[in-house]
Amino acid sequence: MGYKLVPAHEDGGEVDPFAVMAGRCAAISGPVIFDVGAHKGHVAQEFRKCLPSAQVHAFEPFPECFSFLREVAAGDSAIHVHEFGLAEKSGERSFHANLANATNSLLGTDEKADETWGPGQVGTCEVVALPFSTLDSFMAESGLERVDILKMDVQGAEHLVIEGARETLAAGRIGMIYTEIITMPTYVGQQPLHEVLTQYAGHGFSLVNFYNPSLTDAGELRQIDALFAYTGAERS
């Protein structure tokens, strides 16, 4: 596939992805971070710890979670919160509010999700209409020049965020992408791993490393985080 994995430690020890991202941003003054699928703000806070000069834009459309996020931002003026999600198009979208709100998604639940995660974890309680925009639109409206780190945790809908960021990606204005990748049946319409890798390669990103693997009781990989770095122009 054209990717090379390089361990940060020769002994194969666990690597902290936030430390890796902080190291790659060391020469950047005031890095800009997009936390897409910010949930209750814990990742935004982690970015502020490892990158004290960063400005974090946190996007969360679900009202219950946004209330927690707003409280986090109230104590940190460098966290800017936005009560809408990012996707491939703007407007109100049908959003699946699930039993565990960390699993909320634009995508419906796959019939095999219980086999992957256990009974009820991704079960939908209700479908609600919530506001969404595109990353390209937000960039134009905010006047931001670039995104140094695009973090995504939107439960299988990451490819929709990427579709809504085509202009920004084509201009080489995103430095790194830190994203969750679900590898076993969880949501209807989620991308398989090989398509995720192909999509990022097509936008000029190379894989840095994988982190935080989540395994089933049978030892199968069901989810993993990945860091990609922009290395050049779009590839064919």
Residue 223: pLDDT band (50, 70, 90) is very high
State the pLDDT at residue 235.
42
Please check the confidence at residue 9 and state whether its pLDDT lies above 80: no
CA 123 to chain centre: 21
- Looking at every residue in the chain, the average pLDDT score rounds to 94
| Through-space distance between the first and last CA atoms of the chain, rounded to whole angstroms | 13
Cα distance between residue 99 and residue 59, in whole Å: 21
State the average pLDDT over residues 148-168: 98
Burial (0-12, 13-18, 19+ Cβ within 10 Å), 117: buried
Cβ neighbors of 16 (< 8 A, separation 6 or more) are none
Q: Does residue 230 contact residue 172 with C-beta atoms inside 8 Å?
A: yes
Please check the confidence at residue 62 and state whether its pLDDT lies above 90: yes
Please check the confidence at residue 129 and state whether its pLDDT lies above 70: yes
Question: What are the start-end ranges of the H helices in 75-180?
Answer: 113-117, 135-142, 158-163, 166-170
Write down the residue that tokens 């959003």 correspond to: 95
Please say whether the structural domain 17-230 has been given the CATH code 3.40.50.150: yes
Give helix then strand counts, H and E, for the chain: 8, 10
State the average pLDDT over residues 163-168: 98
Q: Does residue 61 contact residue 132 with C-beta atoms inside 8 Å?
A: yes
pLDDT > 70 in the chain, percent: 94
Residue 121: pLDDT band (50, 70, 90) is confident
Closest to 76 (Cα-Cα) out of 104, 48, 108? 48
* pLDDT single digits (tens) 173-222: 999 999 999 999 999 999 999 999 999 999 999 999 999 999 999 999 99
Please check the confidence at residue 1 and state whether its pLDDT lies above 90: no
pTM of the model: 0.93
Which residues partner with 127 through β-bridges?
96
Residue 8: pLDDT band (50, 70, 90) is low
State the pLDDT at residue 236.
37
State the pLDDT at residue 120.
83
Widest distance between CA atoms in the chain? 49
Write down the residue that tokens 């996007």 correspond to: 59
